[in-house]
Amino acid sequence: MNGTVAVIGAGTMGNGIAHVFAQHGWTVRLIDVAPAALDKGIATIRSNLERQAKKGTISPDAVPEILGRIEARPELEGAGDAELVVEAATERADLKFDLFHRLDTIAPPAAILASNTSSISITEIGAKTRRPAQVIGMHFMNPVPIMQLVEVIRGQATSDETTRRTLEIATALGKTPVEVNDYPGFVANRVLLPMINEAIYAVMEGVATPEAIDTVMKLGMGHPMGPLTLADFIGLDVCLAILEVMHAGLGDPKYRPCPLLRRMVAAGELGRKSGKGFYRY
């Protein structure tokens, strides 16, 4: 049975998450502090739905129907009738801690509070609420309407019932959920980021060009995208932030961010979003 979900943050991930829930029959409250982000989020969902209709994966009539299930709201009180909250706001620990503290008083007592965080501890987020058993990670991948995986992260206090319901919801959205425990980087980034970091070391040490490294990994390992192309897509600032979290949280020097990555971020070379990273856009 589909209920009401509140999605906090209408950026890259939030609009994709709202899209997928609405497409699967949920009533969606899309909440963002920035009115411009709400407008842009809704416009992005509309154009992505229209593309799906053109491709024939949904009917043209479904576009207004799905959009009609999404209500854009500027204030957090919009989560007042949600059975599930999926937080996809900016990746800053203080901001998420404050959001969950407030959501705990706004959302119905039975609601599950999920975070789409890439790296912040679900256990620490849960500890900011009076319902840590109902706090869980629901880590969607970018672009959300296309990528199959949802990493479901259990914090120290997350209950079996919360986990079961979250896995059930992700499956009903047509995704494949994978259950993991709450350690820095979870699984996706714990395995991906050291590979990207090593590829950056290989560039720094002059082992090969970015094009050559990406070709080795694509043609030799069957990766659909080389690690440096992927790093540009994720954002080099985001890659650096995730490596910092793993380095600090796990304390092992194998996670230390490559000096070239630091230098590029300091220079504003952030990948696709800034027009220049390992490649030019």
Ligand X SMILES: NC(=O)c1ccc[n+]([C@@H]2O[C@H](COP(=O)([O-])OP(=O)(O)OC[C@H]3O[C@@H](n4cnc5c(N)ncnc54)[C@H](O)[C@@H]3O)[C@@H](O)[C@H]2O)c1
Shortest CB 56 distance to ligand X, Å: 27
Candidates 111-119, 161-169, 222-230, 244-252; binding stretch for ligand X (CB under 6 A): 111-119
- What sign does the dihedral 114-120-123-127 (CA atoms) show? negative
- What sign does the dihedral 183-107-88-17 (CA atoms) show? positive
2 catalytic, yes or no?
no
The two three-digit tokens of residue 1, written as one number: 């049975």
19 catalytic, yes or no?
no
Helix axes 236-250, 188-204, angle to 10 degrees: 110
Is the CB of residue 264 less than 8 Å from the CB of residue 196?
no
Question: x/- string (CB under 6 A) for ligand X, residues 8-47?
Answer: xxxxxxx----------------xxxx--x----------
151 catalytic, yes or no?
yes
Residue from 91, 104, 182, 232 in contact with ligand X (CB under 6 A): 91
In this structure, the number of other CB atoms found within 10 A of the CB of residue 191 comes to 10
Which residue number is nearest to ligand X in terms of Cβ? Answer: 11
**Residue 147: C-alpha distances to residues 15, 31, 234, 275 (Å):** 14, 23, 14, 24
DSSP state of 82: -
Shortest CB 165 distance to ligand X, Å: 21
Q: Which is nearer to ligand X, 11 or 194 (CB)?
A: 11
Could you tell me where the beta strands, DSSP code E, fall in 52-98?
A: 70-73, 84-87
Contact set for ligand X, span 247-276 (CB under 6 A) = none
DSSP state of 257: P
Residue 234 binds to ligand X (criterion: CB under 6 A): yes
Entry field: residues in the chain: 281
Contact set for ligand X, span 129-148 (CB under 6 A) = 139, 142
Residue tagged active-site, from 83, 87, 91, 151: 151
189 catalytic, yes or no?
yes
Which residue ranges make up the site for ligand X (CB under 6 A)? 8-14, 31-34, 37, 88-91, 95, 99, 116-118, 139, 142, 234
Enzyme catalytic residues: 118, 139, 151, 189
